[in-house]
Amino acid sequence: MLLSLDLEDERPLHEQAADAIRRAIADGEVGPGDRLPPARDLADAMRINANTVLRALRQLRAEGLLEFRRGRGVTVLHRPDPEAALRGQLRDLLAEARRRGFTTADLTRWIEEEM
């Protein structure tokens, strides 16, 4: 499993690590029922601290993508649904925009500018 992080990315390392693992699952590098390498090996591959990898793995477990089993390691439960993940992020963005007083027109304009 080839995992790499972008050092220019401003997001926290644990989020980048979770994205890298999520991408590996979505791309079929590891599939449902497969065990992931130990956190220490993943950390070495990504050149980050093992605790950072563990935080990423816990995040993916909370999302329902991974299962932790004592003595058996970390197992992939299923492939992520990319549309569902993006829709969830969109709902979060819309809720935050509403809290800050932005309108649908503001968001639409921003999306058009970015596209």
SS3 content of the chain, % helix, strand, coil (to 5): 55, 10, 35
State the pLDDT at residue 91.
82
Q: Tokens 């591959």 identify what position?
A: 45
Task: Convert the pLDDT of each residue in 12-68 to its tens digit.
Answer: 999 999 989 988 888 888 889 999 999 999 999 999 999 999 999 999 999 889 999
Task: Convert the pLDDT of each residue in 77-86 to its tens digit.
Answer: 987 766 766 7
Residue with more model confidence, 101 or 25? 101
Of the chain, the end-to-end C-alpha distance in Å amounts to 32
State the pLDDT at residue 2.
62
Residue with more model confidence, 77 or 2? 77
State the pLDDT at residue 85.
67
- From start to end of 28-113, where are the E strands? 66-69, 73-76
Q: Is the dihedral of CA 57, 61, 66, 69 positive or negative?
A: positive
Confidence of residue 7 (pLDDT cuts 50, 70, 90): confident
